Homo-oligomer: A and B are copies of this chain.
Amino acid sequence: MTQRPYNFSAGPAAMPEEVLQQAAAEMLDWHGSGLGVMEMSHRGKEFMSIAAQAEADLRELLAVPANFRILFMQGGGLAENAIVPLNLSRGGTVDFVVTGSWSQKSAKEARKYATANVIASSEADGHTTLPAPASWKLSANAQYVHICSNETIHGVEFHELPDLKSLGCDAPLVIDFSSHVASRPVDWSRVGLAFGGAQKNLGPAGVTLVVVREDLLGRALPICPSAFEYKTVADNASMYNTPPTYGIYMAGLVFQWLKRQREGDLTGIAAMEARNVAKARLLYDFIDQSAFYVNKVAENCRSRMNIPFFLRDESRNDVFLAGARERGLLQLKGHKSVGGMRASIYNAMPLAGVQALVSYMRDFEKEQA
């Protein structure tokens, strides 16, 4: 097989090639069972073992403490924008830090169920900075505080989660970590609930990961659909309704791939983080030294996963994208709300992919100069 193109899609996104190969090989017969994974009853011993292994591997990879439950759900981050307040708001006050499109959407949806206060926002500077936690106007009675810890569209990332306790706030922190989950460790001591669609760093679209502290279960509003009540889902080991079985299997293969990764002495998520730091540095450093390209995000909050950048002369955008496609560099067009370009370089993107991108960008700059 010739070299596959490098796929910079923001999600659904590139999968590790080894994972796709294994899935193809097992499509008609999983481990001699005579069944493909898609054909297995979710209540049968084969699929139960797949789901249990996926959960255990994820718990190990992300070092999820024993007092947190891991749930595999459906509907993606957008559905969680309603499901979180249905489960945690108690119809009261909830706080939002708006740092880009995703936290903005979350706050808007929460207003269906609760009083949603925007306690800080970076809207004035086009979401190119992060408001410092010390400046947040935390509500005295908030049921939770919501942040999007990596904004996929604006390319802004919290490199440290806020320590709400040190700010005198006892409310649990909710993080939407869809687009950087498993790219770095999570400080669970600062988190009450984390959620994310799988389709960036974990597996295929259609699986939603929720990691929730046990004491937050059982608070759902009576209008919460049973299939989306965290306590019901937790009590039934994510099998209250038929789970997205194949998606969970694929995520499980990704978890096993993550566990196999090595970078020097590092393994698993630590290895991925080192690799992600190196990949991001290569691209940001190249952009910053260039007078041809620009990234507008403040240095202290640049995303390692989603890197929006612009050609200073935007009339060359189409030529840039066409040339990229010719070199096998796909899906580099920026989100319509931001414009320009965006390189999403999730775990499955190798360093060689970022090197190929930088090499193309350098050549394009020379050629156009």
A207 — which chain B residues lie within 8 A by C-beta?
A: 206
Q: Do B83 and A225 have beta carbons less than 8 Å apart?
A: yes
Per-position binary interface string of chain A over residues 71-83, scored 1 when its CB falls under 8 Å from any chain B CB and 0 otherwise: 0001111110111
Cα–Cα, bound, A86→B204 (Å): 28
A109 — which chain B residues lie within 8 A by C-beta?
A: 225-226
A113 — which chain B residues lie within 8 A by C-beta?
A: 223
A225 — which chain B residues lie within 8 A by C-beta?
A: 75, 79, 81-83, 86, 109, 112
Which chain A residues (1-36) contact chain B, with CB distance < 8 Å? 1, 4-5, 7, 9-15, 17, 20-21, 23-25, 27-29, 34-36
Question: Count the A residues whose beta carbon is within 8 Å of the partner chain — how many?
Answer: 68
Q: Do A12 and B27 have beta carbons less than 8 Å apart?
A: no
Question: Interface segment, A40-48, A60-68, A310-318, A361-369?
Answer: A40-48
Cα–Cα, bound, A205→B147 (Å): 31
Select A250's contact among B38, B203, B226, B331, beta carbons within 8 Å.
B38
Asked whether A12 and B28 contact (CB < 8 A) given A205-B245, A206-B246, the answer is: no
Copy tally for this chain in the complex stands at: 2
Q: Do A331 and B44 have beta carbons less than 8 Å apart?
A: yes
Q: Do B331 and A12 have beta carbons less than 8 Å apart?
A: no
Q: Residue among A77, A86, A228 with the most chain B CB within 10 A?
A: A228
Select A75's contact among B13, B75, B81, beta carbons within 8 Å.
B75
Q: Do B242 and A244 have beta carbons less than 8 Å apart?
A: no
Q: Do B9 and A40 have beta carbons less than 8 Å apart?
A: yes
Q: Do A4 and B34 have beta carbons less than 8 Å apart?
A: yes
Cα–Cα, bound, A237→B139 (Å): 39
For the complex of A and B, the 5 pairs showing the least CB-CB separation, nearest first, are A206-B244, A82-B225, A78-B241, A24-B27, A74-B74
- Give 8 pairs: A residue, B residue, CB < 8 Å, sorted on A: A9-B40, A12-B41, A12-B42, A15-B38, A38-B205, A44-B331, A109-B226, A204-B245
